[in-house]
Each structure stands twice: as C-alpha cells, then as structure tokens.
Structure 1
Amino acid sequence: MRSRLPLIALIVVLSATLVFVTAFWDPRPPATVMAVQNARLAAAKPAGGDFMLQGPQGPVALADYRGKVVLLYFGYTYCPDVCPTALALIAQALSGLEASEQPQVQALFISVDPQRDSADRLQEYAPYFHPKLIGLSGTQDEIASVAARYGARYEAQSPNERSAVAE
C-alpha cells in the first residue's frame, strides 16, 4: 500500500493541475497587448486601389480586370534567383487551374526596374513563365506609388565590382 501512495499523490496533483488549467487559464494576451497588435495590423494594412501602368500593348489599369482575381508580383527581370523562382510558382498555380477557372484569374508582374525592364523586355520575359502573366512597368514614381499602396518594398542596389566585371 505504501508504494502506491506516491503514485496516487502524483495523479491527484496532475488532476488538480489539469482542472485548474482547464477552468482558469486563458492563453490570450491581455487586452492592451491585443489592442496594440490590432493597431499595428491596421496601420500596416495596404490600401490597394486602382492604378495604370504600361503593358506590352499599351496602358493597363487594374480596373481592366474588375471581377477577376488579380495576382500582383513585384520584381525585375534581372533578378538572379528570387523572382524567377516566385514566377515559376505563380505559373505552376496558374497551370493548376481548371479550364473554367483560367478566365477568372489574371497575373501581373510589375517591374521595379524601369531603367532596364523595357516594354519589349517584359513582353518577352513574362510570358516565358506563363502566357497569362503580363509584365508592367512605368516611371519610378508610378511604380513607387503602386508598390506603396500594395505594401511592397524594394530598394535599388548598385552592382558590386565583381558583378560589374562579370557582365
């Protein structure tokens, strides 16, 4: 009987702890912490909205695709790894759509490098990944405005000496 006493005591303590946790523990943060987190999320939420940029056949507005799901991707054609990988994933997602779903979706690739990404370059580059992907560009100010409204951040980097020699 004595050997069972520690085991019974352990079971009672564990049971009491479980009852206490179930009845009284609230894992949510205090209301003030939640209010601060909600305020940050609200402040960081992109405004979005219509825009007009240059496409391969002329001006393209977001409003042109009203009623469709529009996927926006910000990048540039000289990106060595991240952009092609992301565009390949977008192409895979677009290819995975049913034939009836294809007309309801449009993917737009917005270049943040208008100095190098001409309309001709974007017309060649974007469809390489998927025929429904349209490359867009504009002035630095137009692109910066669209990127800011959609919460995209980018920064031009000057090439280092090694990459300048390699080109």
Structure 2
Amino acid sequence: MTRIQKTVLILVALVALVIGLTAYRVLNTGQQVDTAALLDAGIVMLPQGRDVPDLTLTNQDGEPMTTAQLQGRWHLLFFGYTFCPDICPATLAELRQLQGMLPDETRQRMQAILVSVDPDRDTPEQLKMYLDYFKAGFIGLTGPLDDIQTLANAVGVPFIPADTSKDNYTVDHGGNLALIGPDGRLRGFIRAPLRTEKLAEQLPAVIGQDG
C-alpha cells in the first residue's frame, strides 16, 4: 500500500468520525445529554447504531467467540497487537487504570477487548500471556486477517496490514476505541489519547444506558 493510499484511508476514517460527531450534536439538541462534556472526555456517540458484521474469532483461551456475543454488555474494542512497542501497552495500562476509577456497577457492565491486528504472531497463547500481565480481565481476540480487517473497517477503526516478510515488523494502527452497545451495534468511539479522569466521570452515564 502506497503512502498516498495510507493517507486516504486515514482521512476517510477522520471524515466519518466528524460526520458522526456533527450529526450527534444536532440530533441531541435539547436532550439531557452533556455533549460538550462527553466530547471533552474524548467520547463521540453516533446518532444511530451501526451493525457489526457476523464473524467468529478466537479468544485467548482458544475458544471461538462470535460478534453476536458482544450483546448484553458494553464493549470497548481496541485494535492492536502484543508486539506493539508503544501505543498498545500504554493504552491497555490506561484502560486498567480507568477500570479502577469506575464504580463497580459501571465496571460490571463494560468489557475491554484487544482485537489483534497481527494474527500471524498473536496466537491465543501469546494473547493470554500478554493480557495476563495487566491483570485487568481483558479479552483478546485473533483470527484470519481478512475477518479482523472486516471488523475494524466496519467499526470505523481501520489499520494497515503489515508486511510480514520483514523481520521485527510493526503494524500501522490507531489508538481509538470502538464503543459497542448491549445491542451488539457500534454506538460510538473513544478517541486517543485516553483521558482517564474525564472518562471516569462521563462513562457511567453512557454505560448506564441499555443501548
């Protein structure tokens, strides 16, 4: 993929985010939602939920997990990988910190998931070893690259597959989180970098919704 193609992909994702944000601000005028506070915390809610493709991936215990199983709780999907040198360990550490700042009720209604963008190296065993380090109850998912890319594109958090022929390759990806509601649909995003204190203040109201 050329640099121009990479730039276009990133711009498309940003435009989609801005459109969703603008629509949400317009449609929520007059409602008892502090949109400004949500935005200040990095939370962007969509005016309408978006369907998530029907896929089956594999969790860190080697068990199949379908996207239909995202129903019933709020899920934060982070697309990263265990060999990531910077964004991933920092984001997961911030998520662990955030969980410790949330009320028990909110924490019970929310599940963070690392979806690997490097399935060649991120086996279930590798994911389990990596996530166990954080001791935060995170779920890890891996599977066919095409399925992972389909999911990432569907929830508006695209990444650029790596050239796995190179030694010690890295994967170009962002730090935004996709927010999946209890209805199993994409409900919004949490923008990177994570603002843990402000998120701890605003997420209970969001997570408290039934979706």
Please give the range of the TM-score, normalised by the shorter of the 2 chains.
0.5 to 0.7
Structure 1 match to 2:190: none
1:157–1:140: structure 2 CA closer, same or farther, 3 Å change rule? closer
Structure 2 match to 1:91: 96
Give aligned-pair identity as a percent.
Answer: 32
Specify the structure having the higher radius of gyration (Cα).
1
Q: Tell whether 2:56 aligns with 1:52.
A: yes
Q: Deviations over 1:36-95 (max 9, x none)?
A: x89x726xx894415431102301123324231110000011100111111111111112
Structure 1 match to 2:42: none
Q: Deviations over 1:85-133 (max 9, x none)?
A: 1111111111222223322111110001010000000011123224321
Structure 1 match to 2:132: 127
Which consecutive aligned stretches of 4+ in structure 1 deviate over 6 angstroms post-superposition? none
The TM-score normalised by the length of structure 2 is: 0.51
Q: Aligned partners of 1:79 and 1:138: how far apart in 2?
A: 18
> Cα RMSD over matched residues?
2.9
Structure 2 match to 1:33: none
Q: Which has the higher contact order (CA 8 A, sep 6+)?
A: 2
Q: Which amino acid in structure 2 is aligned with residue 55 of structure 1?
A: N
Q: Which amino acid in structure 2 is aligned with residue 110 of structure 1?
A: V
Q: Aligned partners of 1:145 and 1:88: how far apart in 2?
A: 26
- SS where residue 101 of structure 1 aligns? helix
1:74 to 67, 71, 79: 79
Q: Tell whether 2:128 aligns with 1:117.
A: no
Which has more helix, going by share of residues?
Answer: 1
Which has more strand, going by share of residues?
Answer: 2
Structure 1's unaligned 5+ residue stretches are: 1-36
1:109–1:134 Cα contact (<8 Å) kept: yes
1:86–1:48: structure 2 CA closer, same or farther, 3 Å change rule? farther
Structure 1 match to 2:24: none
Structure 2's unaligned 5+ residue stretches are: 1-14, 21-45, 170-211
2:19 to 28, 41, 61: 41
1:126–1:135 Cα contact (<8 Å) kept: yes
Q: Aligned partners of 2:64 and 2:162: how far apart in 1?
A: 28
Structure 2 match to 1:16: none
